[in-house]
Each structure stands twice: as structure tokens, then as C-alpha cells.
Amino acid sequence: MPLSDLKADQTELVVLSVLAEGPSYGYGIGKRVAALSEGDWKIGPGQLYPLLSKLEKAKLVKTSWEEVKRDGADPDAAGRRRKWYQLTAKGRQRLAQRVDAHRRAAAVLDRFLSIAGAEGATP
């Protein structure tokens, strides 16, 4: 059975976790999510960029710009701009809280699953 789509709430947790590894940019974050989930989860650009914008407004991430050029492009030509995201202290704190809340919820869920385990287990 395919995994269900990420909910908005989970998307935030996933993006904050990716940024906890180090600074990244939008497209890079999307690729990292696909790679870590082995393709099971994809965050589409229509979801990712508005979310990043929200995180920036909430000061959970800070941003900076870098000029990038295509391989083999004229070194004097103006490149395009890449927006980098980096977790702030507030962002780390939020992530820690989210991870904690998630672990608790998962632990409670596990208790229920262990009751159901006798019937649900496949030999």
C-alpha cells in the first residue's frame, strides 16, 4: 500500500528536520526529502515554497541569497539568484518540541498497536 500524502503539519516537521542537517535551498530540500524517503514522500513546489515563506515569517528560518551560474555559462554573465534557508535558534526549538510531541503520540499509538498486534500480525 502506498504511503498517504504528507499532511501540512508533517511537511513542516520534515522540512525543519532536513534543515537541521545544514543550510539548504528549496529545490535541494525537495530532493533531500525524496531521497531520504526513498521516493515515498514528495513535497511539491506548490506546497514547499509557500511553507518556506511561512517559516521565514515565523522566524524559524533565516535566509540569504547566492548567485549561481549554469555549468559552462559565460562567467561574466549575470547568474540567477538562489535563496538559502538556515534554521534559527527558534526553529531548532520548534523542531525539538515537534519531535517530542511526535514521539509521545507515536508511543501512545504503539500501545494500541501492541494490543492489535496479536490479530494484525502476519506469520
Contact residues for other proteins, defined by CB under 8 A: 22-23, 25-27, 44-47, 49-51, 53-54, 57, 64-68, 70-71, 78-84, 90, 93, 97, 101, 104-105
**Closest CB 70 distance from other proteins, rounded Å:** 7
**Closest CB 101 distance from other proteins, rounded Å:** 4
**Closest CB 118 distance from other proteins, rounded Å:** 29
- 10 Å CB burial of residue 30 (0-12, 13-18, 19+) is buried
Taking the C-alpha atoms of residue 62 and residue 85, their distance in angstroms, rounded to an integer, is 6
Strand segments, DSSP code E, in 69-114 are 80-87
